[in-house]
Amino acid sequence: MILTVSHVTTYRYDAPIRAAVQSLRLTPSVYDGQRAINWKIEVDGGARGTSFRDGSGDVIESWSVKGPVEEITVRVSGEVATTDMAGVLRGFRESVPPEAWLRETHPTRADAALTAMAEKARAGARDTLDFAHRLSEAVSEAIAYTPGATEAHTTAAEALALGEGVCQDHAHAMIAAARALFIPARYVSGYLLADAEGKSHDAAHAWAEIWIDGLGWVGFDAANACCPDERYIRLGSGFDAQDAAPIRGVALGQTAETLDVAVAVAAVQQ
């Protein structure tokens, strides 16, 4: 499948800022399941800095904007060819060992309920892959997809207790439960093509990857009760949502900030 992406992020400030520096993780991953046909990242009024591939295999770009400015817009557009790999991240180059992804963070700290969920999934599982599928199903059933039910700083434990959340919460819960059993897991940010019935979630999406011996990293989208397929575009990974954020940065100046994001993903007829 060939997917087109249009992603515009605009930061507005109530008073001019002196400057801003941003780190962008907005380049599609390179692996057997996808390749960028063309891809463009632009920051209005910005200067492109260094670009490198980190140990996790993600491409990081730095940009800077000189002030005074009251608005900064980041524009992403392009086409990506995707193939259904049943969630397996085959052919992806990275140097960080899987064990590094056992480290918990505040949003992914497992409480008794998350640990109990993980242990229940493991009790009936044939192997780690079966466990991951069972865990994804359990998270999907325990946390109903409800836009606006949680906030950016909501933890996995809080979302599970609430019984509602968004894709970020589903991913955090998957990661927390897997790590509770010493199974490496990480957060993935990317895009998702909306289906014809409008049942899928926001085009800017997130899911979890679980390390499976013999297969490597395998993606699980508990929010949609499936593994990532040709509708998904993978951008990057991290310990949690903040670590894997597509855009991170700082603005110099004492001012309030508002954020607008517009993402559209479409399929090109082949």
Tens of pLDDT, residues 26-63: 999 999 999 999 999 999 999 999 999 999 999 999 99
Please give the model's pTM, rounded to 2 decimal places.
Answer: 0.94
Instruction: Say whether both 92 and 201 belong to one domain.
Output: yes
Is residue 91 located within the same domain as residue 224? Answer: yes
Among the residue ranges 12-16, 196-200, 259-263, the one predicted with the least confidence is: 196-200
Q: Are residues 185 and 74 in the same domain?
A: no
Q: What one-letter code names the amino acid at 160?
A: L
Residues 146 and 169 in one domain: yes
Q: Are residues 203 and 251 in the same domain?
A: no
- Is pLDDT above 50 for 206? yes
Gap between the Cα atoms of 200 and 203, Å rounded: 8
* 111 and 57 inside one domain: no
Q: What is the mean pLDDT of residues 196-217?
A: 82
Look up residue 85 and give its amino acid: M
Domain shared by 71 and 95, yes or no: no
Q: Which helix (H) or strand (E) holds 174?
A: helix 167-180
User: Both 173 and 100 in a single domain?
Assistant: yes
- Give the rounded distance of the alpha carbon of 210 from its chain centre: 14
Q: Are 7 and 204 in contact (CB under 8 A)?
A: yes
The tokens for 9 are: 């992020």
Residue 81: strand pairing partners = 2, 35
- Say if residue 111's pLDDT is above 70: yes
User: What pLDDT does residue 201 have?
Assistant: 58
Q: Say yes or no: 102 and 224 in one domain.
A: yes
Percent of the chain exceeding pLDDT 70 equals 96
Reduced to 3 states (helix: H, G, I; strand: E, B; else coil), residue 64 is strand
Q: Angle CA(169)–CA(139)–CA(172) in degrees, nearest 5?
A: 30
Are 153 and 213 members of one domain?
yes
Query: Residue 30's domain is classified under what CATH number?
Result: 2.60.40.2250
Residue 77 has pLDDT above 50, yes or no: yes
User: Which segments of 90-156 are extended strands (E)?
Assistant: 144-145
CA 5 → CA 9, 28, 31, 80, distances in Å?
13, 11, 18, 8
Polymer length in residues for the chain:
270
- Nearest one of 249, 230, 243, 265 to 188, comparing CA atoms: 243
- Give the structural domain span for 13: 2-81+246-268
| Banded pLDDT at 193 (limits 50, 70, 90) | very high
Query: How high is the pLDDT of residue 76?
Result: 97
234: Cα separation from own chain's centroid: 8
Domain CATH for 199: 3.10.620.30
